Structure 1
Amino acid sequence: MPSALAAATAANTPGMHPPIPAPSLPGFHSPPPMPSYASGTTAGGPVRTQPARMPFYVATRGTTTIYLLGTLHVGDPADYPPNQPFRAPILAALNASPTLALELSPDDLLVSQDDVSKYGVCRKPCLQQLLPEPLWAKLAARLRGNPEALAEIRKMKPWLASLLVETYDSLSAGLQTEYGTEAQLQNVFLRLKGRRIVGLETLGEQMRAFTYLNLAQQREMLAQDLAQTPAQNVADVQTLLRLWRVGDADAIAAWDAARTEKLAHDPRVAASVDNRIVYERNRRFVARMQQYAAPNKPLFVAIGALHLGGQKGVLQLLRQRGFAVDPG
């Protein structure tokens, strides 16, 4: 899920305090209470003294260096110990890089809430009319115990409803928006002087990845989110978190491909959705990285972990452009 939209849909879930403003999505009940550091445990178990490994790679071509970190847009505080939130090689790379590139720039993140509301929310209830009856019935059953949430989601277009279901499953798995990797990175990076943060795509480009989806593609997104029980979706979130902690981008990509194959309602449509919201953006990310990177001026890139691995992932695209890519 893109960072702007993940934060937007998570924003006002009660008890959640994201690092950026986002549109109001009232009515969702709080996920299970989060243990705190004071108790000595977090959602991931006992508080660790070492940070998660995370997918981290170094791409080099001549004197041009691009550091790449695969992120999770919501996270577990256990993965970011206060005394050292990232491994030493990641901290060293941040320190060496005058520019941090995220999916969206901070300025675009600040206004993303307006575009999400403008393009993802109807003036009156529309979702039921946009879905086949069995799919609407599944969604209504999922939210049966939460009439306020159901009233809100009725006003959403299917693509935004899909992102909301995904985000709520992540929060129900015990993850928190303020412990998304990007927020933690910025906490470290902004303490350094003379640095800048840029976006690898504009807000308009990111929004169009979703708003240009046709109705069949939007329905496919939501159908995949509702193909399993909430408990099964939460288990998948926890599996992704474990793979991210191990730090192997190709293993993450393989797991995600297998999951999509399992959940796809229409494999052809599912593939077209992945092309629009993942692979086309991967190509744009790499093109922008090459614009920002310069000899002897390393660029630090932090993007969603699902964008890195696989044959159409960012790491392979960089290799095709002459970069040597190694684990960091």
Structure 2
Amino acid sequence: MKFRSIARQAVGLVAGMGFGMFFATAQAQCVGENLIDALPASDRQTLLAAAHAQPNATGNLWQATRGNETLFLSGTFHLDDPRHDALMQRLLPYLAQSRTLLVEAGPKEEAELQQKLAKDPAAMMDMAGSGLQHMLSPEEWTQLTDALLQRGIPSTIAEKLRPWFVSMMLAIPPCALQLAAQGGGLDKRLIAAATERTIPVTALEPFDTALGLFDGLSADEQILMIRNALLVEQQSADFLATTADAFFAGESRLIWEFSRLIANQAPGATPEKTDADFAQTETALMVDRNIAWIPRIEAALQDGPAFAAFGALHLSGKDGVLALLTARGFAVTPLPDR
């Protein structure tokens, strides 16, 4: 799922810069409650209706065919979870039929990203100070530095981090940091399986894509992301559990609508403003990338059947990968993933 993907990359970026204290507070596992299950039944139904109104809203495993071209697609959850074991057993037969595995970033791209940041960390840090402390209220700054300290990042470093990077760090609870840096999510498992079977792994986008995702957001919009993250930071383990449960139930779109519900509860929020913010964020994080991925997918299919795996939120929606493939003449059908 996309926020987890970027946040996992954020953890890897920090770890790659040599912050030795980073995992000091990491625990062995997260135990959280499903926040959607805790909602009143009427609210759950409203969320489901909103999610299911989108094209291709449910399911993680799909097949797209066009003439003699065959593409298998799997939405992924980027953090480790024991439920991946059973899911991998469903995916391996489709991977075995494929000549290429397409992922957001393969081992080559991750290594290139680490090398870039080792030479120039300016993409996520401003050594002169980002001004973040002055853009937040004293109370917000205290809450933020406390939250980052739980993630092993002292305030002296927090003041230098770019706002977008801070909001991504807040997306992963302290208990999941080590798992995030180590990988072990579905993407990593598929890459390992493809490598073992000598199936080439191809990236859907350049290695530094994650660094430019928020270039189109203003400083105020990035600060809003931090404020929204702080509203629910104390429930970050619950959000992780909720996200994972939704993914394994084939209901990833539900998390997007649940996040919208939470954003509407922020002080001063209005449905109109929240919808506008979400539309802009969806364009930056998902839609623009979906569109850019289609030519790479079509190119890979020239070599035979292919398997594409990426954050599950990229599948659904009117500008989701499945809808874009349909517009390109593919017949898209769901496959059983449980």
TM-score by length of structure 1 reads 0.78
Matches of 1:12 and 1:317, distance apart in 2: 31
Q: Of the candidates 228, 231, 238, which is equivalent to residue 227 of structure 1? A: 231
Are the aligned partners of 2:29 and 2:176 in contact in 1 as well (CA < 8 Å)?
A: no
Contact 2:101/2:308 (<8 A) preserved: yes
Query: Per-residue deviation at 1:11?
Result: 3.4
Aligned length: 297
Name the SS for the 2:25 alignment partner. Answer: coil
User: Is the CA contact 1:4–1:104 (under 8 Å) kept in the aligned structure 2?
Assistant: no
| Structure 2 counterpart of 1:51 | none
> Cα deviations across residues 113-154 of structure 1 (Å, max 9, x unaligned)?
344533111113324256232543431343466785333222
Residue 290 of structure 1 aligns with an amino acid whose one-letter code is E
The 1:229/1:123 distance shift into structure 2, 3 A limit, reads closer
Q: Which residue identity lines up with residue 315 of structure 1 in the other structure?
A: L
Q: Note the 1:26-65 alignment, pairs <5 A.
A: 26-28=20-22, 29-34=24-29, 55-65=60-70
Amino acid at match of 1:183: K
Residues 141 and 253 (structure 1), Cα distance of their counterparts in 2 relative to 1, 3 Å cut:
same
Name the aligned partner's letter for residue 154 of structure 2.
Answer: A
Matched, 1:196 2:238: no
Is contact 2:73–2:307 with CA below 8 Å preserved after alignment?
yes
* SS of alignment partner, residue 310 of structure 2: strand
Q: Which residue of 1 aligns with 2:327?
A: 320
After the TM superposition, which residues 88-127 of structure 1 pair with which residues of structure 2 at under 5 Å, given as runs? 88=90, 90-115=91-116, 117-127=121-131
Residue of structure 2 in register with 1:49 after alignment:
none
For residues 237-276 of structure 1, the aligned pairs below 5 Å read: 237-246=240-249, 248=250, 251-263=251-263, 266-267=273-274, 268-276=276-284
Q: Unpaired runs of 5+ in structure 1?
A: 14-20, 36-41, 45-53
CA RMSD of aligned residues (A): 3.2
The superposition leaves residues 252-287 of structure 1 with CA deviations (integer Å, 9 ceiling, x where unpaired) of 113313313422555233431221112111111223
More helix as a share of residues: 2
**1:25 Cα deviation (Å)?**
4.0
TM-score by length of 2: 0.76
Q: How far apart are the structure 1 equivalents of 2:11 and 2:93?
A: 31
Q: CA deviation at 1:4?
A: 7.3
User: Aligned partners of 1:278 and 1:213: how far apart in 2?
Assistant: 14
Q: Which has the higher contact order (CA 8 A, sep 6+)?
A: 2
CA offsets per residue over residues 190-239 of structure 1, 9 Å max, x none? 1113x2111111123342222443212322322221121422x2212111
